[in-house]
Amino acid sequence: MTKHAINAFLATSVVFANEIAAICEMVGADAKEVERGLKSEQRIGPKAYLSPGGAFAGGTLARDIEFLKVASSGHSLSIPLLESVKISNDQHKDWARRKLKTFFPNLQDVTVVVWGLAYKPGTDTLRRSLAVELCNWLIQQGANVRVHDPVVKVLPADWHGNVRRFDTALGALADAQVLLIGTDWPEYRENSRELVSSVAPGLVVLDPNRFLAPLGTASDLRYLAVGTPTIERIA
């Protein structure tokens, strides 16, 4: 029960931070500054997990939330707080889609590059990958989808003819309009140093976890992360 409770608490912390971040985007605040303020409260503390970023995928956190839901329902116990965690997390999975629609109401023929497809750094598995889910949606929207991942060499079979894989991250960016960070691979930080000088001005960069945060100061890029103020429509 302790293990389930720990993971449920972490999951709740993730969705709390991301809901606060969503409000920050609307009112013009920076969620990282709010995070620092929260951690200055003695009853919360500096080690609390309150970082705005991507949604959690369907791994341990999701399984333990579901376990507690099933266990409680078997005893006719209502747990509205924990039941709402999955609802909030599922809504947050659409963050990149909402931002893309803000920039490009019609994604037909818009070239979108996704850096990173793996479920998480250090693995080549695509199961439960939010980046894969996003690519599937981009295909449905008619976007031109390009991908790079340092370890994923074989793309899903149903992507044939719809997604183009590149051997280099920077090579995928030629004439692209959007770059989305799907997996926080360390080499992408290295590539980001060359990114500003190698892409067309106005490239939209969606970086949920602020992995490439220094790009936020590049005047030629339109950089957006979870919890940063919303940028006006550009197309």
Of the candidates 97, 123, 127, which has an alpha carbon nearest to the alpha carbon of residue 112? 97
Those residues whose C-beta lies under 8 Å from the C-beta of residue 104, and which sit 6 or more positions away, are 110, 177, 178, 234, 235
The CA distance from 172 to 135, in Å, is 15
The CA distance from 216 to 202, in Å, is 12
24-72 per-position pLDDT tens digit: 999 999 999 999 999 999 999 999 999 999 999 868 899 999 999 999 9
Of the candidates 190, 228, 226, 234, which has an alpha carbon nearest to the alpha carbon of residue 207? 226
Note the pLDDT of residue 231: 61
This prediction's pTM: 0.89
Beta-strand pair 178-181/144-148: unpaired
138-189 per-position pLDDT tens digit: 999 999 999 999 999 999 999 999 999 999 999 999 899 999 999 999 999 8
- CATH code for 96-224? 3.40.50.720
| Domain residue ranges of the chain, discontinuous segments joined by + | 2-93, 96-224
| In contact, 115 and 179? CB cutoff 8 Å | yes
Homologous superfamily assigned to 2-93? N-(1-d-carboxylethyl)-l-norvaline Dehydrogenase; domain 2 (1.10.1040.10)
